[in-house]
Each structure stands twice: as structure tokens, then as C-alpha cells.
């Protein structure tokens, strides 16, 4: 099942009002919406003004209370917190060296104040640290575990791992956070099997989406297998995109993928809006960030918790 179908099913749990109307009785705490913006060529746009941005929650446009851009120069808390989730179950043996190479690039490009952690899909983990030598030793110890796991069990494992990691990230406020799945794109970015293949994992998907949103964390995916080994939608759909991140699949530019993730995790916008009353009883509400400037698009998580 695709992300689009899942989100459609989730937001159908409450009746949306007509687009373009402002919900009455706007009240409640502020909700912080983080997003990144790009031009037509995929380059970052870092000079947007609040009047150029619209935030829509559950088909309602909500006014922006505060608007800011976070960069290394303006961040109140230095550093990012990044979890590298390494696929040691399904990745082909020939790609394990590239998994290590991608992970090493993240470590070698750490900035002052950054912290990282290494986690494997089979459950091995380490605490976050800013000690690059310790991180590199953990990467050197990465190896393929293998084993036969059904698709739905594997999808459940991915979603529950992301949920657990996100809840741990919630305990580290003030940092930009990301979970980066390095391995088979179909595992990390397509954890929901087709209905004819395995059981419905919608509950686990919703739980992971909620946990990521509460942690203000995004999911990214880098498939190191290279061109011709994965789908060719340029990461425009899937689990990572739904969280406000991106899936780098069917590409040989792995260094570029790492650099873009690090750039996005250091330069982004935060728009704070009042929590509208619509859909608060739903597990998730549809979120859309629109940019009015011609040629510029925003990428944000596509759903936020209802309550």
C-alpha cells in the first residue's frame, strides 16, 4: 500500500470541511512545523518570508504566528542528532561495503556539537556520541546477518524500530533530528506490504508517523545499491517523503545524498501555528506547507498527530 493511500485512509477518520475556510474558535497551543524549501533545480532556498508560506492542517489554512529560519549561525542549540540505521538483514552482500562508506561519510562530516548513533536493523545499537572514532569502530563492526524474514514481519520490524528510536529522540529537545536508513530502499521506504502479501501494518505505520512528529524528526533513506536496482520515482513517494525526509534510490551519487541530508538538517524553516480544533480526535491529520513564490516548493511531513 502506498503512502498516499495510507494518508487518505487516516484522514478519512474525520470529516474534512471545505478547503479555503478558516475553522472557527481557533485556540490551543502552538504547533511547530519544520520544513525545507527548494528551487526548480533542487537547490536550497533560504530567504523565504512568512507572507510567502501557507500552512494547511486538515484542509484548513491556519495563520502563522511565528516564522524563522534555522541555520548554523542562528540555531539556539548547536548540533544535530542523527541516527544511522544500517540494514544488516536484506542488503546484498556486494553492497555492504557501500553501506559502510555512506555511514563513514556522515561521521567524517560531523560538525561541532553534532551527535550520532549507529543502530542495526537486527537490534544492535549504541548511545549517541560526538566521538567520531567510536562511531567509526561501530561502522567497521557492521556485517550482514541475513536470515529469512517474511515481508510483513520485516516491515513491522522497521516501523517499530523507527517508533522506538523516535521516542528516544524526543528526550533530546532543541536539536535537529534525523533517522537515516542505509540499505535496501524497499525495506526502509516501503515497509507496508501489499494486502495480498502480508498483514495490514497501518497501525504500526501510524504509530511511527506520530512518534516521528512528536520528536520533530525526519526519516531519510539511502539505498547504496546504485542505479538500476530500485524504483525510479526519485523518492517522491514513500515513507521517508511522508515524514518530511527523502529517499535516495536508484542513484550512484551517494556522497551527494549524505551532503544533502546534512545540509537539510542544518538549514530549515520553522513556522509556529495555533493548533486548529479540526481533527484533534484523529490519530493523524493531513499537513501541507505551500510556498507562494513561483518556482519554489516546500517539503514537510505530510501528517501530524491529532491529539
User: Could you tell me if 173 and 81 are in contact, meaning their C-beta atoms sit under 8 angstroms apart?
Assistant: no
Q: Does residue 260 sit in the same domain as residue 281?
A: no
Which residues have CB under 8 Å from 298's CB, separation 6+? 35, 36, 37, 38, 53, 269, 289, 290, 291
Rounded to an integer, what distance in angstroms lies between the CA atom of residue 251 and that of residue 257?
9
Most confident of 98-107, 113-122, 192-201: 98-107
The whole-number pLDDT of residue 171 equals 81
For residue 22, tell me if it sits in a domain: no
Which grid cell is 18?
A: 471545505
Q: Does residue 37 sit in the same domain as residue 117?
A: no
Tell me the pLDDT tens digit for each residue of 33-61.
Answer: 999 999 999 999 999 999 999 999 988 99
**Bridge partners of residue 177, in order along the sequence:** 81, 217
Local confidence band at 77 (pLDDT 50, 70, 90 cut-offs): low
For residue 25, tell me if it sits in a domain: no
Local confidence band at 28 (pLDDT 50, 70, 90 cut-offs): low
Q: Does residue 57 sit in the same domain as residue 195?
A: no
Q: Does residue 134 sit in the same domain as residue 112?
A: yes
For residue 255, tell me if it sits in a domain: yes
The whole-number pLDDT of residue 147 equals 67
Higher pLDDT, 11 or 98: 98
Looking up residue 125, the CATH number of its domain turns out to be: 3.40.50.410
Q: Does residue 232 sit in the same domain as residue 285?
A: no
Q: Can you state the angle between helices 254-264 and 96-108, rounded to 10 degrees?
A: 40
Q: What is the dihedral of CA 226, 232, 235, 238, to 10 degrees?
A: -110
Q: Does residue 272 sit in the same domain as residue 220?
A: no
User: How many independent structural domains does the chain possess?
Assistant: 2
For residue 23, tell me if it sits in a domain: no
The whole-number pLDDT of residue 230 equals 58
Local confidence band at 149 (pLDDT 50, 70, 90 cut-offs): confident
The whole-number pLDDT of residue 193 equals 77
Q: Does residue 158 sit in the same domain as residue 296?
A: no
Q: Does residue 144 sit in the same domain as residue 176?
A: yes
Q: Does residue 126 sit in the same domain as residue 223?
A: yes
**35 SS3 class:** strand
Q: Does residue 93 sit in the same domain as residue 154?
A: yes
| CA angle in degrees (0–180, nearest 5) for 173-32-298 | 115
Tell me which of 264, 279, 296 is where a domain ends.
264
User: Could you tell me if 58 and 277 are in contact, meaning their C-beta atoms sit under 8 angstroms apart?
Assistant: no
For residue 24, tell me if it sits in a domain: no
Rounded to an integer, what distance in angstroms lies between the CA atom of residue 156 and that of residue 87?
14
Tell me the pLDDT tens digit for each residue of 172-221.
Answer: 777 789 999 999 998 899 888 777 677 889 999 999 999 999 999 999 99
Q: In this model, does residue 107 exceed pLDDT 70? A: yes
For residue 138, tell me if it sits in a domain: yes
Tell me the pLDDT tens digit for each residue of 228-283.
Answer: 765 555 667 799 999 999 999 989 999 999 999 999 999 999 999 998 887 788 99
Tell me the pLDDT tens digit for each residue of 119-140.
Answer: 998 877 888 999 999 999 999 9
Q: In this model, does residue 25 exceed pLDDT 60? A: no
Domain that holds residue 47: 3-17+30-71+268-305
Q: Does residue 290 sit in the same domain as residue 151?
A: no
Q: State the CB neighbour count (10 A cutoff) for residue 36.
A: 23
For residue 274, tell me if it sits in a domain: yes
Q: Does residue 183 sit in the same domain as residue 118?
A: yes
Amino acid at each position: 500500500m502506498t503512502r498516499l493511500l495510507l494518508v487518505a485512509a487516516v484522514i478519512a477518520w474525520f470529516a474534512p470541511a471545505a478547503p479555503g475556510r478558516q475553522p472557527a474558535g481557533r485556540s490551543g497551543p502552538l504547533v511547530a512545523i519544520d520544513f525545507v524549501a527548494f528551487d526548480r533545480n533542487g537547490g536550497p532556498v533560504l530567504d523565504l518570508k512568512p507572507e510567502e508560506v501557507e500552512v494547511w492542517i486538515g484542509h484548513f489554512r491556519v495563520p502563522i504566528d511565528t516564522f524563522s529560519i534555522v541555520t548554523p549561525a542562528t540555531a539556539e542549540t548547536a548540533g544535530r542528532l542523527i541516527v544511522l540505521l544500517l540494514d544488516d538483514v536484506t542488503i546484498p552482500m556486494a553492497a555492504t561495503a557501500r553501506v559502510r562508506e555512506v555511514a563513514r561519510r556522515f561521521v567524517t562530516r560531523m560538525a561541532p556539537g553534532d551527535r550520532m548513533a549507529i543502530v542495526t536493523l537486527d537490534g544492535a545499537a549504541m548511545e549517541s556520541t560526538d566521538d567520531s572514532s567510536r562511531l567509526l569502530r561501530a561502522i567497521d563492526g557492521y556485517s550482514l546477518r541475513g536470515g529469512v524474514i517474511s515481508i510483513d514481519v520485516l516491515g513491522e520490524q522497521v516501523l517499530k524500530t523507527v517508533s522506538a528510536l523516535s521516542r528516544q529522540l524526543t528526550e533530546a529537545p532543541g536539536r535537529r533530528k534525523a533517522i537515516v536508513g542505509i540499505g535496501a530502499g524497499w525495506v526502509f521506504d516501503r515497509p507496508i506490504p501489499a494486502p495480498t502479501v502480508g498483514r495490514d501494518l497501518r497501525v504500526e505505520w501510524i504509530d511511527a508517523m506520530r512518534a516521528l512528529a512528536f520528536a520533530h524528526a525526519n526519516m531519510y533513506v539511502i539505498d547504496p545499491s546504485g542505479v538500476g536496482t530500485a524504483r525510479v520515482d526519485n523518492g517522491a513517494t514513500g515513507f521517508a517523503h511522508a515524514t518530511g525526509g527523502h529517499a535516495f534510490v536508484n542513484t550512484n551519487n551517494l556522497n551527494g545524498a549524505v551532503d544533502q541530508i546534512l545540509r537539510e538538517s542544518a538549514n530549515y524553516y520553522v513556522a509556529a501555528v495555533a493548533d486548529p480544533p479540526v481533527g484533534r480526535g484523529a490519530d493523524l491529520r493531513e499537513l501541507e506547507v505551500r510556498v507562494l513564490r513561483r518556482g519554489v516548493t516546500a517539503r514537510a511531513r505530510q501528517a501530524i498527530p491529532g491529539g
